[in-house]
Chain A
Amino acid sequence: MTGLVAGVDVGGTFTDLVIFDPATGAVRLAKVPTTLPNQSGGVLNAFAEAEADLSSIDLIVHGTTTTTNAVLERQLSKTGLITTMGFRDVLELGRRTRPQAYGMKGHFVPVIPRDLRLEVPERMDARGRVLTPLDEAALRKAVTELRDAGCEALVIHFLHAYANPAHEVRAGEIAKGIWPNAYITLGHKLLSEAREYERGVTAAVNASVQPLLERYVVRLADQLAEKGYARDLLVMNGNGGMISAKDVAKEAVKTVMSGPASGVMAAVATGRRAGMPNLLTYDMGGTSTDVAMIKGGVAPVSNEIEVEYAMPIHVPMVDVRTVGAGGGSIARIDAGGMLRVGPESAGSTPGPVCYGRGGTRVTISDANLILGRLPASRFGQAAEAAFSAMQAQIAAPLDLSVEAAAEAVIRIANTHMAGAIRMVSISMGADPRDFALFAFGGAGPLHAVALAKELNVPKVLIPARPGITNALGCVLADLRHDFVRTLNRPLDAADFAHVHRVLAEQEAEGRRLIGHEKIALTSVRTEVSADMQFVGQTHLLRVQLPSATPDREQLQRLFEAAYRTRFRVDLPTIRANLVNLNVSVIGERPALDLSRLIDPKGRLDKAEPASHRKVWFESWHETPVYWRDHLPLEIDLKGPVIIEQMDTTVVVDPGARVTSDGEGNLIVEVAA
């Protein structure tokens, strides 16, 4: 491949573009405002801003939040559901939950309203035996009724279809003859395992975002073609892989979590090249923070992500957890006199006081400003307001100085974020000393060093361009196909010839699909894992397998070892269950040279501070401020140091030491 490679990611505020020239290593970047609701305007603007000639681009990979926004804002296509007699309310009843443990209030809107959920006679038992044959006349009537009601997409979701999909398949065939388009989702197709609510919601979300995703990518592909782009447009999926725009809508639900996934993929690639395969990713934005644990250079994948309250999406997706703390999290004194930070957030509107957009309650960002960690010059008049708000709301009631109050806010926020990161990493048996914190997003590098200290993580890795990490993830991601097969058998009763056959089939199918894509690859590799439990348990533990031909005792051993790591418990008398077999087939793309993400031409021979300013670390420190684009490739600086760049501010606390590697990443050793 000689042509240019472009990654373009649409975030909540900005659309980011990065274009690589593999021949010369040259990089072009653009950041433009996101356009809503149609994100393609921003995408085209980004290419215009980068002055890119689209006819010279070989590959465009696109990360979009079209489906994410549609789901969270319930801007869904009108969708109908046909299900087993007696079960149309499954989507409305949920799993008998409430939004929070305490407080009996809340609100829930099912993905598909009750009048568009119809029932037909048919029934399988749990082993897939037909108890009631499919009533085809009733089915035809139901499909017609939903079509005539104006539904654009259709879901067919029958009980136990994972055990025997015959009725769903037949119903799909009949529906095809009646339905005016191809937007028909069969429940078992996306997720072939038991649990009717999760399978039903996954299918319902898929159907109800399909039409808008397809319209969006088709229009975007057309517009790119008009500007001269002659190749396939690829779209990021939530599993951290990419898929052709032509096919993406078939399994549209897989794009719902694609934004955070691309950030993790960038972290995987950056960490591998930097020799740091174990990373805790830390992406702090305005309202929330995304966290993931990467072990051994492998992105974590989960089949059980809940996008919001009672909205499970059970397809393999990069396991990113969202913590409700961001720059906009509000600090307050509670009725008992205790200082609290979050979970309330000022978001981006009205936003922190220092944004000057009408926010009146102090936030984490305001505290960073007061402590000199963010440059006051960026905020103008509103900076004053942040000081007086901190004085009135926090400092005065606690009898602290404004600076001490601001530092308190940061410390408490860090304690909470560290706790949240700990719950998804250290609590799962990981040793923090084996990890580096990969800090990105606009606010990540502000807190990362202090947070790493709190977590006992020895190093922080800050990529060259923390603010465009997601766009970078788009160009670094691989092709990827994931397969899950449920066996649910005691290990001792499992037929290993069958196990090997299943794994081989999954791998062959993945390789076949990857072979169809016209993308340059350096290699195709396979990751194999099993979800296991002790007989009698309900929770699953994922065990990575060294090959696709495991034997019985090896599985028991690997599972026991994983269990011991996680729970510090040995249960030698109990045997294991083999629940799921998972295969991921990954087509690796040629490596890109990341060393020019920061233009080498700007580099100075020697690290010279651009300025100094007072920054508070328990007291005021006169702190050198460097401009990142001017740093030489080799630096060795002692904290306190501030490093500014277009898209973020890096805070290096006193006692820490910052160096860089040949690719322009900063590496902070927390305790030098």
Chain B
Amino acid sequence: MRNLGPQGADGSGDTPPVLTLDNITKVFPGVKALDGVRLDLYAGQVTALIGENGAGKSTVVKTLTGIYQPDGGQILLGGTPVPFATPQDAAKAGVTAIHQETVLFDELSVAENVFIGHAPKGRFGLIDTAAMYKKTGEILSSIGAKISPAVKLKDLSIASRHLVAIARALSVEAQVVIMDEPTAALSQTEIEELYELVDTLKAQGKAILFISHKFDEIFRIADRFTVFRDGQLVGAGIMNDVTEADLVKMMVGRSVDQLFPKREAEIGEDVLVVAGYSHPTEFEDINFTLRRGEILGFYGLVGAGRSEFMQSLIGITKPSKGAVRVGGDIRVIRSPAEAIKAGIVYVPEDRGKQGAILDMPIFQNVTLPSLHKTSNNGFVRMAEEFALAREYTERLDLRAASLDTNVGALSGGNQQKVVIAKWLATKPRVIILDEPTKGIDIGSKAAVHDFMSELAAQGLSVIMVSSEIPEIMGMSDRVIVMRDGRMVAELEGDALTPETLVRQAVGIRETGGDT
């Protein structure tokens, strides 16, 4: 395998890159999102940016478009350093991004969407509507799109909206076009049209950064690749020199070491049986059995339907088909209250938004889902409530001046503990942890893992949704892989390897001689 190292100089004697991220570092509290990475983009070429979830791809996009300021390193445009202090600076320098979910305005016309923020001005500084429509028409026909500049955006298909987004990118005379998972919402024919468009842009000499999880796509249109792992550059080069297997190895290539304090818990009887669980639009035919003391991992790419399935399991959305058996009884779970009663609790991924209530004191947050246990006819028995809150915050070693403190005044790690204490206080049988360690520092991660093992050892069944391969490998007794809303594999023992996980999640078939 050709690993060209962090300098990315592939010695092919090409023209110098249009845009270079040189030794860029970006630190968030507790997490190093980018650690001295380099990325080169060349005129008339497509560079694919590849990496697992959380490898730092979106941070790169945000740095390139001026949304984030790097903490170290520089951005070179045609060899000279440029500070992208604001998104406007990046746009002026000719860097433009077409986002995963295109951020456009439904109620405005196509032309207004294309030129919003830089509309051509006529007399008295008013918008020159005629010129705007004319230019929009020119740009749209240059990319072969048959869309009238006058229609409202809300009347267009998703594919056409993408074309509008691309037209917008071209209207600022972009040199660098960033496409972040552009095919995620497109049908096969629309994808073909997008490929043709990418070829048109290449022919016009634009440098293109293409972010995708789909290997067939990358091999179809990319000229070069750059692979990130955990915020670091692990490889870059020319597509013709690599195989799918090489790229997978670069993406996951690390040893799963003894970081994970997985204790062997005694696995007992079936606790939760899910059969034929389906949803009209989000997932289909999910079947599994969860046993006492087991940690079951759910792996997949972002958008594979894992969180959607979990939310349905706890009654936030309703399944179209399927049944659940909890501890021997067949249950219909129609609301989170019923899920809590059945002993299934869900610790959501976005704890800021879905977890704690920041304006409420700690003890009230902890007891919120178990209030029926510490109240009579709607009146709360405060002493019991306080005792319950104290018991579980102490178990989690929560540090706060008093349980009367508002959760908003706590650090992120302690807020997390409040959320977990809240769920444990309901004495659940099954606890679902969605991305339990996302965005927290290494030390806290180990504590969460330790705690998860302890829960399993005490006889709780744990479902862990995670996009981090080491975590999945280190913590799970068994792993279910989801792709496009379906279960595609159930792995345990020797079958559970990082390569298999990635292959199943991105949808590469096993190739001969590679296994």
B and A form one assembly: no
Instruction: Tell me the B residues contacting A by CB distance below 8 Å.
Output: none
**A interface residues, Cβ below 8 angstroms from B:** none
